[in-house]
């Protein structure tokens, strides 16, 4: 993840809130140590090293992470795929770029990621498979932190990871929901959240220098082609689960998803294309009233928080 996490807890007992908040942040730190492919002792690193040879047992939380990733891969027809790790390495997101991007692209394939729920175990059908859960990791960490807050009776809180993934518990006093802007622009849409999660993905985020002297390569990669997404695309998703919101916002940058299953559809979503350096947000699927909606607004309006 390699990003900054922050939280705001609302309540009367400041000492208790501070203690619970620190526990939530430690949970996020432990999540980093579990799922980071950059740490040789992490669980994901162990899966990458051993799952091509046999089943590897994982904890229940990590299994839920991988199940969610696979569900979004299926619904997005492969636009989101955590087996994209070889391509990320070839592009230079693992210290230095490797030369053979075509071979790396051939190693991608979520169909070869096998999950056994009864055993809480993972196996690769091919030995060249490798996982990169960065596109769902922040959402996963925030879900684990939300569980800690709920277990300790926290009813009103706002948590974010890198300002791009947000979890809301309850709402501020005398407010219907937490309000978060989808960008720094004065007319950026507002996301209203109550007991829900928001994720915003954008192709202009983290980049690495291109080896051919052209503009840097963005971190959102199309698993079908192995190519980084061209600059100027952003997507926002509000969902009941931060993992799903995180993965779906990445997929929505790459494809206009139908979200046709009413039982699993997100609460709201929107997509933007930059024109002349300014994002133009489409009026997409969102509730007209109530919490958990995306509100397009006049640039004269003010906002409370910013993301993306």
Please name each of the domains of the chain with its CATH number: 166-295 (3.10.520.10)
Residue 213 pLDDT > 50: no
Beta strand extents in the chain (DSSP E only):
5-9, 56-57, 113-116, 121-124, 157-161, 165-169, 178-181, 190-193, 196-202, 207-208, 217-218, 233-239, 268-275, 278-281, 293-295
Q: How far apart are CA 154 and CA 151, in angstroms?
A: 8
E strand or H helix at 42: none
Query: 45-49, 231-235, 256-260, 284-288: which has the highest mean pLDDT?
Result: 45-49
Rounded-to-integer distance, Cα 299 and Cα 296, Å? 10
Task: Read off the pLDDT band of 102 (50, 70, 90).
Answer: confident
Task: Identify the pLDDT of residue 204.
Answer: 65
Encode pLDDT of 122-173 as tens digits: 999 999 999 999 999 999 999 999 999 999 999 999 999 998 999 999 999 9
| 305 pLDDT more than 70 | no
pLDDT of residue 58: 98
* Number of residues in the chain: 308
Span 204-213, average pLDDT: 52
Interval 50-89: pLDDT, tens = 999 999 999 999 999 999 999 999 999 999 999 999 898 8
pTM for this entry:
0.89
Coil/strand/helix, residue 60: helix
What confidence score (pLDDT) does residue 55 get?
98
Question: What does DSSP assign to residue 221?
Answer: B
């Amino acid at each position: 993840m390699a990003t900054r996490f922050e939280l705001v807890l609302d309540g009367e007992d400041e000492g208790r809130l501070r203690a619970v908040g620190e526990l939530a942040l430690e949970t996020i730190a432990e999540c980093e140590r579990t799922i980071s492919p950059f740490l040789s002792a992490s669980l994901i690193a162990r899966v990458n090293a051993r799952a091509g040879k046999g089943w590897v047992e994982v904890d229940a939380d990590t299994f839920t992470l991988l199940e969610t990733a696979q569900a979004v891969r299926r619904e997005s027809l492969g636009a989101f795929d955590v087996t994209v790790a070889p391509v990320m390495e070839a592009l230079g997101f693992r210290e230095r770029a490797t030369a053979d991007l075509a071979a790396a692209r051939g190693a991608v394939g979520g169909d070869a990621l096998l999950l056994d729920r009864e055993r809480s175990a993972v196996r690769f059908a091919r030995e060249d498979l490798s996982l990169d859960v960065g596109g769902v990791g922040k959402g996963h960490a925030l879900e684990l932190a939300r569980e800690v807050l709920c277990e300790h009776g926290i009813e009103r809180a706002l948590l974010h990871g890198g300002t791009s993934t947000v979890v809301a518990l309850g709402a501020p006093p005398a407010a219907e929901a937490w309000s978060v802007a989808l960008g720094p622009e004065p007319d950026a849409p507002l996301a209203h959240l109550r007991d829900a999660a928001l994720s915003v993905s954008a192709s202009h985020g983290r980049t690495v220098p291109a080896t051919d002297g052209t503009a840097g390569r963005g971190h959102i990669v199309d698993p079908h082609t192995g190519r980084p997404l061209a600059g100027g695309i952003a997507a926002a998703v509000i969902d009941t689960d931060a993992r799903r919101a995180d993965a779906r916002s990445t997929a929505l940058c790459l494809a206009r998803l139908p979200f046709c299953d009413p039982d699993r559809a997100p609460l709201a979503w929107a997509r933007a294309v930059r024109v002349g350096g300014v994002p133009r947000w489409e009026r997409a699927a969102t509730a007209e009233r109530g919490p958990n909606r995306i509100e397009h607004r006049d640039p004269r309006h003010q906002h409370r928080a910013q993301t993306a």
